[in-house]
Protein backbone atom coordinates (compact mmCIF):
# COMPACT_ATOMS: atom_id res chain seq x y z
CA UNK A 1 0.00 0.00 0.00
CA UNK A 2 1.69 3.26 -1.09
CA UNK A 3 1.86 6.41 1.04
CA UNK A 4 -1.34 8.38 0.44
CA UNK A 5 -1.74 10.59 3.52
CA UNK A 6 -0.46 14.16 3.86
CA UNK A 7 1.25 13.90 7.24
CA UNK A 8 2.16 17.13 9.03
CA UNK A 9 3.48 17.67 12.55
CA UNK A 10 4.31 20.29 15.13
CA UNK A 11 7.20 19.77 17.52
CA UNK A 12 6.03 18.21 20.75
CA UNK A 13 6.09 20.69 23.60
CA UNK A 14 7.50 20.47 27.10
CA UNK A 15 4.58 20.47 29.57
CA UNK A 16 6.61 21.93 32.43
CA UNK A 17 5.08 25.35 31.77
CA UNK A 18 2.04 26.84 30.04
CA UNK A 19 1.88 27.65 26.30
CA UNK A 20 2.72 31.11 24.99
CA UNK A 21 2.02 32.68 21.62
CA UNK A 22 5.32 31.38 20.22
CA UNK A 23 4.11 27.79 20.70
CA UNK A 24 0.72 28.72 19.29
CA UNK A 25 2.33 30.30 16.21
CA UNK A 26 3.75 26.94 15.13
CA UNK A 27 0.59 25.04 15.98
CA UNK A 28 -1.86 27.39 14.25
CA UNK A 29 0.34 27.44 11.14
CA UNK A 30 0.37 23.64 11.09
CA UNK A 31 -3.39 23.55 11.57
CA UNK A 32 -3.87 25.99 8.69
CA UNK A 33 -1.77 23.82 6.37
CA UNK A 34 -3.56 20.61 7.41
CA UNK A 35 -6.97 22.24 6.91
CA UNK A 36 -5.88 23.58 3.54
CA UNK A 37 -4.88 20.13 2.31
CA UNK A 38 -8.23 18.76 3.47
CA UNK A 39 -9.90 21.60 1.54
CA UNK A 40 -8.06 20.31 -1.54
CA UNK A 41 -9.68 16.92 -1.00
CA UNK A 42 -6.63 15.20 0.42
CA UNK A 43 -6.50 12.96 3.47
CA UNK A 44 -4.43 14.92 5.96
CA UNK A 45 -3.10 13.76 9.32
CA UNK A 46 -2.00 16.39 11.83
CA UNK A 47 0.01 15.40 14.90
CA UNK A 48 0.93 17.41 17.97
CA UNK A 49 1.60 16.51 21.59
CA UNK A 50 3.83 16.83 24.64
CA UNK A 51 7.40 15.77 25.36
CA UNK A 52 7.19 14.47 28.92
CA UNK A 53 10.61 12.92 29.59
CA UNK A 54 14.01 14.47 30.25
CA UNK A 55 15.76 16.06 33.20
CA UNK A 56 13.65 19.18 33.55
CA UNK A 57 10.39 17.31 34.24
CA UNK A 58 11.50 15.53 37.45
CA UNK A 59 13.13 18.76 38.60
CA UNK A 60 9.91 20.73 38.10
CA UNK A 61 7.88 17.92 39.69
CA UNK A 62 10.15 17.85 42.72
CA UNK A 63 9.75 21.60 43.16
CA UNK A 64 5.99 21.03 43.49
CA UNK A 65 6.26 17.95 45.68
CA UNK A 66 4.93 15.65 42.96
CA UNK A 67 6.02 12.50 41.19
CA UNK A 68 6.97 13.11 37.53
CA UNK A 69 3.94 11.27 36.12
CA UNK A 70 1.59 13.12 38.43
CA UNK A 71 3.20 16.40 37.41
CA UNK A 72 2.84 15.85 33.64
CA UNK A 73 -0.71 14.55 34.11
CA UNK A 74 -1.58 17.88 35.73
CA UNK A 75 0.28 20.09 33.26
CA UNK A 76 -0.55 18.43 29.94
CA UNK A 77 -4.29 19.35 29.88
CA UNK A 78 -3.32 23.04 29.80
CA UNK A 79 -1.91 22.48 26.33
CA UNK A 80 -4.99 20.70 24.99
CA UNK A 81 -7.12 23.50 26.44
CA UNK A 82 -5.22 26.10 24.43
CA UNK A 83 -5.39 24.10 21.20
CA UNK A 84 -9.13 23.59 21.65
CA UNK A 85 -9.68 27.30 22.22
CA UNK A 86 -7.64 28.13 19.10
CA UNK A 87 -9.71 25.72 16.96
CA UNK A 88 -6.70 23.49 16.33
CA UNK A 89 -8.11 20.38 14.64
CA UNK A 90 -5.34 17.86 15.25
CA UNK A 91 -5.89 14.20 14.37
CA UNK A 92 -3.66 12.75 17.05
CA UNK A 93 -2.13 14.04 20.25
CA UNK A 94 0.84 12.10 21.52
CA UNK A 95 2.35 11.99 24.98
CA UNK A 96 5.81 10.46 25.24
CA UNK A 97 4.76 8.70 28.45
CA UNK A 98 2.25 6.57 26.51
CA UNK A 99 2.95 2.82 26.12
CA UNK A 100 2.68 3.05 22.32
CA UNK A 101 5.54 5.54 22.33
CA UNK A 102 7.76 3.45 24.57
CA UNK A 103 7.27 0.57 22.12
CA UNK A 104 8.35 2.74 19.20
CA UNK A 105 11.39 4.13 21.02
CA UNK A 106 12.43 0.61 22.01
CA UNK A 107 12.02 -0.62 18.43
CA UNK A 108 14.01 2.27 16.94
CA UNK A 109 16.81 1.94 19.49
CA UNK A 110 17.02 -1.78 18.90
CA UNK A 111 17.12 -1.32 15.12
CA UNK A 112 20.03 1.11 15.40
CA UNK A 113 21.87 -0.93 18.06
CA UNK A 114 21.61 -4.13 16.02
CA UNK A 115 22.31 -2.71 12.56
CA UNK A 116 25.82 -4.21 12.54
CA UNK A 117 27.63 -0.86 12.22
CA UNK A 118 28.29 -0.13 15.91
CA UNK A 119 26.30 3.10 15.58
CA UNK A 120 25.60 3.02 19.33
CA UNK A 121 28.55 2.65 21.71
CA UNK A 122 29.33 3.19 25.40
CA UNK A 123 31.51 6.11 26.43
CA UNK A 124 31.97 8.89 28.98
CA UNK A 125 30.69 12.37 28.41
CA UNK A 126 32.09 15.51 29.94
CA UNK A 127 30.56 18.75 28.79
CA UNK A 128 28.28 21.71 29.34
CA UNK A 129 24.59 20.91 29.48
CA UNK A 130 21.51 23.17 29.28
CA UNK A 131 18.55 21.64 31.08
CA UNK A 132 16.06 23.90 29.25
CA UNK A 133 17.34 22.79 25.83
CA UNK A 134 18.10 19.22 26.92
CA UNK A 135 21.28 19.71 24.88
CA UNK A 136 25.06 19.91 25.27
CA UNK A 137 27.09 22.92 24.16
CA UNK A 138 30.75 23.60 23.63
CA UNK A 139 32.40 26.60 25.27
CA UNK A 140 32.49 28.54 21.99
CA UNK A 141 28.76 27.99 21.40
CA UNK A 142 27.82 29.81 24.60
CA UNK A 143 26.97 33.52 24.66
CA UNK A 144 28.59 35.28 27.60
CA UNK A 145 28.90 31.87 29.23
CA UNK A 146 25.16 31.21 28.94
CA UNK A 147 22.96 28.96 26.78
CA UNK A 148 22.59 30.70 23.36
CA UNK A 149 18.86 29.91 23.25
CA UNK A 150 17.64 30.48 26.81
CA UNK A 151 20.37 32.80 28.16
CA UNK A 152 20.47 30.56 31.23
CA UNK A 153 23.44 28.95 33.04
CA UNK A 154 24.70 25.59 31.83
CA UNK A 155 25.84 22.68 34.00
CA UNK A 156 29.16 20.85 33.83
CA UNK A 157 28.23 17.18 33.44
CA UNK A 158 30.33 14.03 33.48
CA UNK A 159 28.74 10.59 33.25
CA UNK A 160 28.82 7.27 31.44
CA UNK A 161 26.52 7.45 28.40
CA UNK A 162 25.72 5.57 25.28
CA UNK A 163 26.46 7.59 22.17
CA UNK A 164 25.06 7.65 18.65
CA UNK A 165 27.77 7.72 16.00
CA UNK A 166 26.46 10.80 14.19
CA UNK A 167 29.91 11.44 12.69
CA UNK A 168 29.49 8.36 10.50
CA UNK A 169 26.51 9.96 8.73
CA UNK A 170 28.13 13.16 7.50
CA UNK A 171 28.49 12.03 3.89
CA UNK A 172 25.08 10.35 3.78
CA UNK A 173 23.40 13.48 5.07
CA UNK A 174 25.15 15.66 2.49
CA UNK A 175 24.15 13.24 -0.27
CA UNK A 176 20.56 13.26 0.99
CA UNK A 177 20.31 17.04 0.94
CA UNK A 178 22.02 17.27 -2.44
CA UNK A 179 19.40 14.89 -3.84
CA UNK A 180 16.54 16.53 -1.90
CA UNK A 181 17.27 20.25 -1.41
CA UNK A 182 13.61 20.78 -0.52
CA UNK A 183 14.08 18.62 2.58
CA UNK A 184 14.99 21.70 4.67
CA UNK A 185 13.23 25.00 4.16
CA UNK A 186 13.50 27.94 3.94
CA UNK A 187 16.77 28.25 2.06
CA UNK A 188 18.58 30.12 4.82
CA UNK A 189 17.90 27.27 7.22
CA UNK A 190 19.05 24.70 4.64
CA UNK A 191 22.32 26.58 4.22
CA UNK A 192 22.73 26.61 7.98
CA UNK A 193 22.26 22.83 8.14
CA UNK A 194 24.68 22.18 5.29
CA UNK A 195 27.28 24.43 6.90
CA UNK A 196 26.98 22.54 10.17
CA UNK A 197 27.31 19.16 8.47
CA UNK A 198 30.30 20.23 6.37
CA UNK A 199 31.97 21.63 9.49
CA UNK A 200 32.06 18.12 10.99
CA UNK A 201 29.58 16.25 13.15
CA UNK A 202 30.16 15.11 16.71
CA UNK A 203 28.65 11.94 18.11
CA UNK A 204 25.94 12.69 20.65
CA UNK A 205 24.79 11.11 23.88
CA UNK A 206 21.57 9.09 23.80
CA UNK A 207 21.30 7.95 27.42
CA UNK A 208 21.46 9.06 31.05
CA UNK A 209 22.11 7.29 34.33
CA UNK A 210 21.77 10.34 36.59
CA UNK A 211 17.96 10.08 36.57
CA UNK A 212 15.44 7.34 35.84
CA UNK A 213 12.60 9.29 34.21
CA UNK A 214 12.51 7.98 30.65
CA UNK A 215 12.43 4.92 28.42
CA UNK A 216 15.02 2.29 29.51
CA UNK A 217 17.52 1.20 26.89
CA UNK A 218 16.46 -2.32 25.87
CA UNK A 219 20.01 -3.75 26.14
CA UNK A 220 21.04 -1.85 29.30
CA UNK A 221 18.03 -0.84 31.45
CA UNK A 222 20.08 1.11 33.99
CA UNK A 223 20.34 3.76 31.25
CA UNK A 224 17.30 5.74 30.14
CA UNK A 225 16.96 7.15 26.66
CA UNK A 226 18.18 10.73 26.19
CA UNK A 227 15.28 13.05 25.51
CA UNK A 228 16.02 13.92 21.87
CA UNK A 229 16.33 10.28 20.78
CA UNK A 230 13.09 9.71 22.68
CA UNK A 231 11.20 12.86 21.64
CA UNK A 232 11.92 12.79 17.91
CA UNK A 233 10.62 9.23 17.70
CA UNK A 234 7.10 10.51 18.40
CA UNK A 235 6.69 11.24 14.70
CA UNK A 236 7.00 7.57 13.75
CA UNK A 237 5.10 6.42 16.84
CA UNK A 238 1.90 8.12 15.70
CA UNK A 239 2.38 6.81 12.17
CA UNK A 240 2.23 3.22 13.48
CA UNK A 241 5.94 2.34 13.41
CA UNK A 242 5.83 -0.18 16.27
CA UNK A 243 2.24 -1.40 16.04
CA UNK A 244 0.73 -1.07 12.56
CA UNK A 245 2.98 -1.66 9.53
CA UNK A 246 0.18 -1.05 7.03
CA UNK A 247 -0.63 2.31 8.60
CA UNK A 248 3.06 3.22 8.66
CA UNK A 249 3.36 2.47 4.95
CA UNK A 250 0.44 4.80 4.20
CA UNK A 251 1.71 7.66 6.35
CA UNK A 252 5.49 7.67 6.41
CA UNK A 253 7.59 9.59 5.60
CA UNK A 254 6.14 12.71 7.17
CA UNK A 255 5.48 15.38 4.55
CA UNK A 256 6.36 18.34 6.78
CA UNK A 257 7.78 18.74 10.27
CA UNK A 258 7.01 22.33 11.29
CA UNK A 259 9.46 23.57 13.92
CA UNK A 260 11.01 26.74 15.32
CA UNK A 261 14.51 27.41 14.05
CA UNK A 262 16.01 26.85 17.52
CA UNK A 263 15.52 23.08 17.19
CA UNK A 264 16.64 22.82 13.56
CA UNK A 265 19.84 20.88 14.30
CA UNK A 266 17.96 18.10 16.04
CA UNK A 267 15.33 17.74 13.31
CA UNK A 268 17.49 18.21 10.22
CA UNK A 269 20.70 16.46 11.33
CA UNK A 270 20.08 14.15 14.29
CA UNK A 271 16.68 12.88 13.20
CA UNK A 272 17.42 11.88 9.58
CA UNK A 273 20.68 10.25 10.66
CA UNK A 274 18.86 8.26 13.35
CA UNK A 275 16.32 7.09 10.79
CA UNK A 276 19.00 6.16 8.27
CA UNK A 277 20.70 4.09 10.96
CA UNK A 278 17.42 2.29 11.65
CA UNK A 279 16.69 1.68 7.96
CA UNK A 280 13.78 4.14 7.89
CA UNK A 281 13.27 6.85 5.26
CA UNK A 282 13.86 10.43 6.51
CA UNK A 283 11.00 12.97 6.52
CA UNK A 284 10.31 14.73 3.25
CA UNK A 285 10.68 18.21 4.68
CA UNK A 286 11.65 20.07 7.84
CA UNK A 287 10.24 23.61 7.75
CA UNK A 288 11.86 25.90 10.32
CA UNK A 289 10.09 29.20 10.88
CA UNK A 290 11.50 32.24 12.65
CA UNK A 291 10.98 33.53 16.16
CA UNK A 292 8.14 35.64 17.44
CA UNK A 293 9.72 38.60 19.18
CA UNK A 294 8.32 40.85 21.89
CA UNK A 295 10.36 43.92 22.63
CA UNK A 296 13.10 42.51 20.42
CA UNK A 297 13.34 39.24 22.39
CA UNK A 298 12.23 35.69 21.61
CA UNK A 299 9.12 34.43 23.42
CA UNK A 300 10.25 33.07 26.78
CA UNK A 301 8.63 32.50 30.15
CA UNK A 302 12.01 32.82 31.87
CA UNK A 303 12.51 36.27 30.31
CA UNK A 304 8.92 37.30 31.08
CA UNK A 305 8.13 37.78 27.38
CA UNK A 306 5.78 34.80 27.14
CA UNK A 307 2.26 35.99 26.37
CA UNK A 308 -0.53 33.47 26.89
CA UNK A 309 -2.77 33.14 23.81
CA UNK A 310 -5.92 33.67 25.87
CA UNK A 311 -4.83 37.26 26.60
CA UNK A 312 -5.26 37.99 22.90
CA UNK A 313 -8.17 35.66 22.09
CA UNK A 314 -10.28 37.26 24.83
CA UNK A 315 -9.88 40.67 23.20
CA UNK A 316 -9.63 39.97 19.46
CA UNK A 317 -11.42 36.63 19.06
CA UNK A 318 -10.01 33.33 17.86
CA UNK A 319 -10.35 33.96 14.11
CA UNK A 320 -8.53 37.28 14.33
CA UNK A 321 -5.82 35.64 16.44
CA UNK A 322 -5.27 32.89 13.86
CA UNK A 323 -5.28 35.34 10.96
CA UNK A 324 -3.04 38.00 12.46
CA UNK A 325 0.08 35.94 13.11
CA UNK A 326 0.04 34.22 9.73
CA UNK A 327 -0.70 37.42 7.81
CA UNK A 328 1.38 39.95 9.75
CA UNK A 329 4.64 37.99 10.00
CA UNK A 330 6.25 36.59 6.86
CA UNK A 331 6.23 32.88 7.54
CA UNK A 332 9.80 31.65 7.87
CA UNK A 333 11.27 34.91 9.12
CA UNK A 334 11.54 36.45 12.57
CA UNK A 335 8.73 38.86 13.32
CA UNK A 336 7.69 41.19 16.11
CA UNK A 337 4.35 41.14 17.87
CA UNK A 338 2.76 44.23 19.34
CA UNK A 339 -0.72 44.96 20.57
CA UNK A 340 -0.85 48.05 18.36
CA UNK A 341 -0.01 46.12 15.18
CA UNK A 342 -2.68 43.54 15.99
CA UNK A 343 -5.33 46.25 16.45
CA UNK A 344 -4.27 47.88 13.18
CA UNK A 345 -4.32 44.61 11.23
CA UNK A 346 -7.67 43.63 12.75
CA UNK A 347 -9.35 46.92 11.86
CA UNK A 348 -7.83 47.20 8.38
CA UNK A 349 -8.14 43.63 7.09
CA UNK A 350 -10.96 42.15 9.12
CA UNK A 351 -13.28 44.92 10.26
CA UNK A 352 -12.91 47.20 7.24
CA UNK A 353 -12.02 45.00 4.27
CA UNK A 354 -13.83 41.72 4.93
CA UNK A 355 -16.34 42.60 7.64
CA UNK A 356 -17.68 45.72 5.98
CA UNK A 357 -17.79 43.98 2.60
CA UNK A 358 -19.92 41.15 3.97
CA UNK A 359 -22.23 43.52 5.88
CA UNK A 360 -22.67 45.80 2.89
CA UNK A 361 -23.42 43.04 0.38
CA UNK A 362 -25.86 41.27 2.68
CA UNK A 363 -27.61 44.55 3.52
CA UNK A 364 -28.03 45.43 -0.15
CA UNK A 365 -29.34 41.96 -0.97
CA UNK A 366 -31.87 42.38 1.82
CA UNK A 367 -32.85 45.92 0.92
CA UNK A 368 -32.86 45.82 -2.88
CA UNK A 369 -33.91 42.28 -3.85
CA UNK A 370 -35.87 41.03 -0.84
CA UNK A 371 -33.02 39.06 0.72
CA UNK A 372 -32.72 36.56 -2.13
CA UNK A 373 -29.82 36.04 -4.51
CA UNK A 374 -31.00 37.32 -7.92
CA UNK A 375 -30.64 35.57 -11.25
CA UNK A 376 -27.14 35.81 -12.74
CA UNK A 377 -26.86 38.05 -15.81
CA UNK A 378 -27.31 36.52 -19.25
CA UNK A 379 -24.56 38.71 -20.67
CA UNK A 380 -21.21 39.49 -19.16
CA UNK A 381 -20.69 43.00 -17.88
CA UNK A 382 -18.38 44.54 -15.28
CA UNK A 383 -19.04 41.60 -12.94
CA UNK A 384 -16.78 39.37 -15.04
CA UNK A 385 -13.81 41.00 -13.30
CA UNK A 386 -14.92 39.40 -10.01
CA UNK A 387 -14.98 35.96 -11.59
CA UNK A 388 -11.46 36.53 -12.87
CA UNK A 389 -10.30 37.91 -9.51
CA UNK A 390 -11.71 34.93 -7.60
CA UNK A 391 -10.22 32.42 -10.02
CA UNK A 392 -6.82 34.14 -9.92
CA UNK A 393 -6.83 34.45 -6.14
CA UNK A 394 -7.68 30.76 -5.69
CA UNK A 395 -4.88 29.73 -8.04
CA UNK A 396 -2.30 31.94 -6.33
CA UNK A 397 -3.54 30.89 -2.90
CA UNK A 398 -2.98 27.27 -3.83
CA UNK A 399 0.48 27.88 -5.25
CA UNK A 400 1.59 29.90 -2.24
CA UNK A 401 0.28 27.61 0.49
CA UNK A 402 1.70 24.50 -1.17
CA UNK A 403 5.06 26.30 -1.18
CA UNK A 404 4.55 27.15 2.53
CA UNK A 405 4.29 30.85 1.79
CA UNK A 406 1.37 31.13 4.16
CA UNK A 407 1.60 34.89 4.40
CA UNK A 408 1.56 35.25 0.63
CA UNK A 409 -1.37 32.87 0.33
CA UNK A 410 -3.50 34.99 2.63
CA UNK A 411 -2.37 38.13 0.81
CA UNK A 412 -3.73 36.57 -2.39
CA UNK A 413 -7.13 36.03 -0.75
CA UNK A 414 -7.15 39.60 0.50
CA UNK A 415 -6.36 40.74 -3.03
CA UNK A 416 -9.72 39.25 -4.01
CA UNK A 417 -11.45 40.93 -1.05
CA UNK A 418 -9.99 44.24 -2.15
CA UNK A 419 -11.11 43.74 -5.74
CA UNK A 420 -14.71 43.14 -4.66
CA UNK A 421 -14.64 46.31 -2.55
CA UNK A 422 -13.26 48.33 -5.47
CA UNK A 423 -15.88 46.84 -7.79
CA UNK A 424 -18.70 47.94 -5.50
CA UNK A 425 -17.35 51.47 -5.25
CA UNK A 426 -17.07 51.74 -9.02
CA UNK A 427 -20.41 50.12 -9.91
CA UNK A 428 -22.26 51.83 -7.02
CA UNK A 429 -25.26 49.49 -6.65
CA UNK A 430 -26.87 51.97 -4.24
CA UNK A 431 -27.11 54.37 -7.16
CA UNK A 432 -28.35 51.67 -9.55
CA UNK A 433 -31.15 50.88 -7.09
CA UNK A 434 -32.61 54.33 -7.65
CA UNK A 435 -33.09 53.75 -11.40
CA UNK A 436 -35.60 51.03 -12.36
CA UNK A 437 -34.24 51.05 -15.90
CA UNK A 438 -30.94 49.74 -14.56
CA UNK A 439 -32.49 46.91 -12.55
CA UNK A 440 -30.64 44.24 -14.54
CA UNK A 441 -27.30 45.90 -13.78
CA UNK A 442 -28.16 46.01 -10.09
CA UNK A 443 -29.06 42.34 -9.99
CA UNK A 444 -25.93 41.40 -11.90
CA UNK A 445 -23.84 43.33 -9.38
CA UNK A 446 -25.53 41.77 -6.38
CA UNK A 447 -25.30 38.25 -7.80
CA UNK A 448 -21.59 38.72 -8.49
CA UNK A 449 -20.96 40.15 -5.03
CA UNK A 450 -22.76 37.27 -3.32
CA UNK A 451 -20.89 34.75 -5.44
CA UNK A 452 -17.56 36.39 -4.63
CA UNK A 453 -18.41 36.22 -0.91
CA UNK A 454 -19.15 32.51 -1.30
CA UNK A 455 -15.72 31.86 -2.77
CA UNK A 456 -14.03 34.05 -0.15
CA UNK A 457 -15.78 32.08 2.61
CA UNK A 458 -14.35 28.86 1.19
CA UNK A 459 -10.85 30.30 0.91
CA UNK A 460 -10.72 31.70 4.45
CA UNK A 461 -12.08 28.52 6.05
CA UNK A 462 -8.65 26.98 6.84
CA UNK A 463 -7.41 30.08 8.66
CA UNK A 464 -10.67 31.45 10.14
CA UNK A 465 -13.06 28.50 10.40
CA UNK A 466 -15.62 30.24 12.63
CA UNK A 467 -15.85 33.42 10.56
CA UNK A 468 -16.09 31.35 7.39
CA UNK A 469 -18.92 29.28 8.87
CA UNK A 470 -20.82 32.41 9.95
CA UNK A 471 -20.46 33.99 6.52
CA UNK A 472 -21.56 30.75 4.88
CA UNK A 473 -24.63 30.66 7.11
CA UNK A 474 -25.46 34.29 6.35
CA UNK A 475 -25.25 33.54 2.65
CA UNK A 476 -27.88 30.83 3.20
CA UNK A 477 -26.11 28.17 1.14
CA UNK A 478 -27.63 24.71 1.57
CA UNK A 479 -24.51 22.62 0.98
CA UNK A 480 -22.13 22.26 3.91
CA UNK A 481 -19.02 24.41 4.00
CA UNK A 482 -16.93 21.43 5.13
CA UNK A 483 -17.92 19.61 1.93
CA UNK A 484 -16.43 22.30 -0.34
CA UNK A 485 -13.25 21.48 -2.25
CA UNK A 486 -10.77 23.66 -4.06
CA UNK A 487 -10.27 24.35 -6.91
CA UNK A 488 -13.84 23.30 -7.84
CA UNK A 489 -15.40 25.58 -5.22
CA UNK A 490 -13.72 28.60 -6.84
CA UNK A 491 -15.58 27.98 -10.10
CA UNK A 492 -17.92 30.87 -10.83
CA UNK A 493 -21.68 30.59 -10.67
CA UNK A 494 -22.31 28.07 -7.90
CA UNK A 495 -24.54 30.14 -5.64
CA UNK A 496 -28.14 29.32 -6.55
CA UNK A 497 -30.52 32.13 -7.59
CA UNK A 498 -33.26 32.48 -5.00
CA UNK A 499 -30.98 31.56 -2.10
CA UNK A 500 -32.24 33.33 1.00
CA UNK A 501 -29.52 35.35 2.72
CA UNK A 502 -29.59 36.12 6.43
CA UNK A 503 -28.26 39.40 7.72
CA UNK A 504 -26.53 38.97 11.05
CA UNK A 505 -24.08 40.63 13.38
CA UNK A 506 -20.87 41.99 11.90
CA UNK A 507 -18.20 39.34 11.39
CA UNK A 508 -15.56 41.60 12.91
CA UNK A 509 -16.82 44.65 14.84
CA UNK A 510 -14.30 47.46 14.78
CA UNK A 511 -12.00 47.74 17.81
CA UNK A 512 -10.84 50.98 19.36
CA UNK A 513 -7.72 49.54 20.94
CB 299 within 8 A of CB 22: yes
Which alpha helices (DSSP H) does 43-180 contain, by range? 56-63, 68-85, 99-113, 170-179
Q: What H or E segment, with its residue span, contains residue 130?
A: strand 120-130
Q: How confident is the model at residue 392 (pLDDT cuts 50, 70, 90)?
A: very high
Edge-to-edge strands of the sheet including 216-217?
A: 207-208, 220-225, 216-217
Task: Tell me what pLDDT residue 11 has.
Answer: 97
Q: How many CA atoms lie within 13 A of 78 on its CB side?
A: 17
The answer to whether residue 302 scores a pLDDT higher than 50 is no
Question: Going by C-beta distance under 8 Å and a sequence separation of 6 or more, which residues neighbour residue 512?
Answer: none
Provide φ and ψ at 467, rounded to 5°. Answer: -65, -40
**Terminal-residue alpha carbon distance, the chain:** 54
CB 501 within 8 A of CB 476: yes
Segment 395-418 shows an average pLDDT of 98
Task: Tell me what pLDDT residue 129 has.
Answer: 79
Edge-to-edge strands of the sheet including 155-164?
A: 135-137, 120-130, 155-164, 204-205
Pairwise pLDDT comparison (164 vs 210), residue with the higher score: 164
How far apart are the C-alpha atoms of 52 and 98, rounded to whole Å?
Answer: 10
The answer to whether residue 109 scores a pLDDT higher than 50 is yes
Strand partners, 143: 146
- Write down how long the chain is: 513
Task: Tell me what pLDDT residue 347 has.
Answer: 98
Task: Tell me what pLDDT residue 113 has.
Answer: 97
Minimum mean pLDDT range among 47-56, 174-183, 236-245, 445-454? 47-56
Task: Tell me what pLDDT residue 126 has.
Answer: 77
Pairwise pLDDT comparison (135 vs 120), residue with the higher score: 120
Pairing of strands 120-130, 135-137: antiparallel
The answer to whether residue 2 scores a pLDDT higher than 50 is yes
Strands (E), 262-336: 286-289, 292-294, 297-298, 335-336
Task: Tell me what pLDDT residue 294 has.
Answer: 83
Pairwise pLDDT comparison (219 vs 137), residue with the higher score: 219
Minimum mean pLDDT range among 22-36, 318-332, 379-393? 379-393
Strand partners, 335: 292
Provide the whole-model pTM: 0.92
CB 95 within 8 A of CB 72: yes
The answer to whether residue 306 scores a pLDDT higher than 70 is no
Burial code of 201-224, b = ≥16 C-beta within 10 A, e = fewer?
bebbbbbbeeeebbbbbeeeeebb
Task: Tell me what pLDDT residue 1 has.
Answer: 59
Minimum mean pLDDT range among 282-291, 371-380, 503-512? 371-380
Q: What H or E segment, with its residue span, contains residue 129?
A: strand 120-130
The answer to whether residue 496 scores a pLDDT higher than 60 is yes
The answer to whether residue 51 scores a pLDDT higher than 60 is yes
Task: Tell me what pLDDT residue 486 has.
Answer: 96
Cis peptide before 186 (omega within 30 of 0): yes
CA distances, 12 to each of 49, 129, 138, 268 (Å): 5, 21, 25, 16
Q: How confident is the model at residue 352 (pLDDT cuts 50, 70, 90)?
A: very high
CA distances, 146 to each of 6, 39, 138, 297, 324 (Å): 40, 46, 11, 16, 33
CB 10 within 8 A of CB 27: yes
Segment 333-342 shows an average pLDDT of 93
Task: Tell me what pLDDT residue 380 has.
Answer: 76
Express each pLDDT in 414-465 by its tens digit: 999 999 999 999 999 999 999 999 999 999 999 999 999 999 999 999 999 9
Segment 39-58 shows an average pLDDT of 94
Task: Tell me what pLDDT residue 159 has.
Answer: 84
Catalytic residues: 20, 23, 130, 133, 147, 150, 298, 301
Strand partners, 455: none
Task: Report helix, strand or coil for 203.
Answer: coil
Q: What percent of the chain has pLDDT over 70?
A: 97
Express each pLDDT in 58-79 by its tens digit: 888 999 999 999 999 999 999 9
Task: Tell me what pLDDT residue 73 has.
Answer: 95
The answer to whether residue 303 scores a pLDDT higher than 50 is no
Pairwise pLDDT comparison (268 vs 157), residue with the higher score: 268
Amino acid sequence: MPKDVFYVTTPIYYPNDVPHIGHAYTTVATDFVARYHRLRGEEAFFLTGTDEHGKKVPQAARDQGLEPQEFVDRMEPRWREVWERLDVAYDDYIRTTEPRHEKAVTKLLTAVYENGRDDIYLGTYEGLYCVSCEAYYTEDELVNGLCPIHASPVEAVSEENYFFRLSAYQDRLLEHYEAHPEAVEPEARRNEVLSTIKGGLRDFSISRTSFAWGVPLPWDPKHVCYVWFDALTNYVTAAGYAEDPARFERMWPADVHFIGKDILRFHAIYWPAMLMAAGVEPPRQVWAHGFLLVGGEKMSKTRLTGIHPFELVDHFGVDAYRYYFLREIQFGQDGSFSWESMVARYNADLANDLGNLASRVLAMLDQYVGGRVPQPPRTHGPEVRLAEAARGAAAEYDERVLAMDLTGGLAAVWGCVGEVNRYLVEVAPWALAKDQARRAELEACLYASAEALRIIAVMISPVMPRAAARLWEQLGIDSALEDQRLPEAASWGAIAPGTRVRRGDALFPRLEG
